[in-house]
Amino acid sequence: MDWVERVAGIKPWKRHGERAPHKPLLLLYALGRFQRDGGRPIPFSSAEAELGLLLKEFGPPRRTSPGYPFHHLTNDDSLWLVETMHGPGSPGAELGRLREAQAIGRLHPDLLRALTDDSGLVVRLARYLLDANFEPSLHPDICRLVGLELNDQVAAAEQASLSAARRNPAFRERVLVAYEYCCAFCAYEGWLDGTAAGLDAAHVRWWAFDGPDDLDNGLCLCAIHHKLFDKGVLGLTPQRTIAVSRKFASRSPAAGQMVLSLAGRPLREPQRGLDPVDGGHIDWHIRQVFRGPARH
């Protein structure tokens, strides 16, 4: 079994289709540390705040703890080890225990050896973790926060080939045609040399979490609203109106016009006779992505 397969075998916490990217985020964080510091151990005291920020930014809306992945990743296949001032083994997932025991985590020696011997492995692992757990619009921000540089052209080409095989390339065109090349939130449309510019097809239920490449799971969104939709700043209500998170704050007039003014606005529907967004996919996005409560 190669290392990508081992990482693919990570056992996430599961309940009713909920997102649980805790372990993938810890691994991405550890890979970023490897690129900067090699195989140095990672004290929980230095990782706690950074992991907490990653989980807050890219985890599900429910509250969670950086102690969960730091402890539970030790249960997976030779990926992560934890030791304390008392010896090998994790003291548990509770923050107090990890702090008091001066817990230190590290990538497994076998994985460190493989990363050192194969310069492209860190990129292949990172790209798998990103594709399998997050929408593409979030990948650059995650890499920036964990300090990952994914500039290996060979690995990128291999991953692009794998992604193309898994994703349906016709999805984007079907969605843009259905919404007449117009953002379903703000009505933006733009063209450059006869090609739509700044528009994309957003999955409501993420592809990485069994979201189908079907029209009733897609929205045509401009680049900024696509990003804010995937971040949970924007969402949908069961009545197909636009929701804006009460947690989003800005004093910028531009943000007021582009974001805050959308609250309660009806969603643009696709062409007559085509499937609107399915209520089940809206419900998933409300529970797993949207940072509620919504503004009124």
Q: How does pLDDT run across 67-119, given as a tens digit for each residue?
A: 999 999 999 878 999 999 999 999 999 999 999 999 999 999 999 999 999 98
Q: Give the domain-ending residue among 131, 166, 201.
A: 166
Asked whether residue 157 falls in the same domain as residue 37, the answer is yes
Name the packing angle between helices 44-58 and 22-37 (round to 10°): 130
Q: Which domain holds residue 27?
A: 3-166
Cα 266 from Cα 239, distance rounded (Å)? 8
Q: Give the domain-ending residue among 112, 134, 166.
A: 166
Cα 225 from Cα 187, distance rounded (Å)? 11
The total number of structural domains that make up the chain = 2
Asked whether residue 49 falls in the same domain as residue 133, the answer is yes
Cα 11 from Cα 265, distance rounded (Å)? 40
Decide if pLDDT at 154 tops 80: no
Asked whether residue 10 falls in the same domain as residue 153, the answer is yes
Q: What is the DSSP letter of 245?
A: B
Asked whether residue 132 falls in the same domain as residue 202, the answer is no
Domain membership flag for residue 293 = no
Asked whether residue 154 falls in the same domain as residue 34, the answer is yes
The model's pTM: 0.84
Confidence of residue 14 (pLDDT cuts 50, 70, 90): low
Cα 208 from Cα 203, distance rounded (Å)? 10
Asked whether residue 33 falls in the same domain as residue 78, the answer is yes
Per-residue pLDDT, 76:
86
> Once rounded to an integer, what is the mean pLDDT over residues 224-246?
98
Domain membership flag for residue 246 = yes
Domain membership flag for residue 295 = no
Q: Give the domain-ending residue among 166, 194, 218.
A: 166
Asked whether residue 15 falls in the same domain as residue 159, the answer is yes
Asked whether residue 179 falls in the same domain as residue 200, the answer is yes
> Once rounded to an integer, what is the mean pLDDT over residues 243-247?
97
Domain membership flag for residue 296 = no
Decide if pLDDT at 146 tops 90: yes
Mean pLDDT of the chain: 91
Confidence of residue 11 (pLDDT cuts 50, 70, 90): confident
> Once rounded to an integer, what is the mean pLDDT over residues 187-211?
94
Domain membership flag for residue 109 = yes
Asked whether residue 29 falls in the same domain as residue 136, the answer is yes
Q: What share of the chain is helix, strand, coil (3-state, %, to 5)?
A: 50, 10, 40
Per-residue pLDDT, 281:
98
Q: Which residues contact 225 (CB under 8 A, 6 or more apart)?
A: 183, 185, 186, 234, 258
Domain membership flag for residue 141 = yes
Confidence of residue 20 (pLDDT cuts 50, 70, 90): confident
Per-residue pLDDT, 157:
42
Domain membership flag for residue 294 = no
Confidence of residue 60 (pLDDT cuts 50, 70, 90): confident
Q: What is the DSSP letter of 266?
A: B
Confidence of residue 13 (pLDDT cuts 50, 70, 90): low
Cα 136 from Cα 20, distance rounded (Å)? 17
Asked whether residue 151 falls in the same domain as residue 251, the answer is no
Asked whether residue 130 falls in the same domain as residue 196, the answer is no
Q: Is the pLDDT higher at 124 or at 15?
A: 124
Name which of 35, 129, 111, 34 is nearest 74 in CA terms: 111
Domain membership flag for residue 179 = yes
Asked whether residue 162 falls in the same domain as residue 177, the answer is no
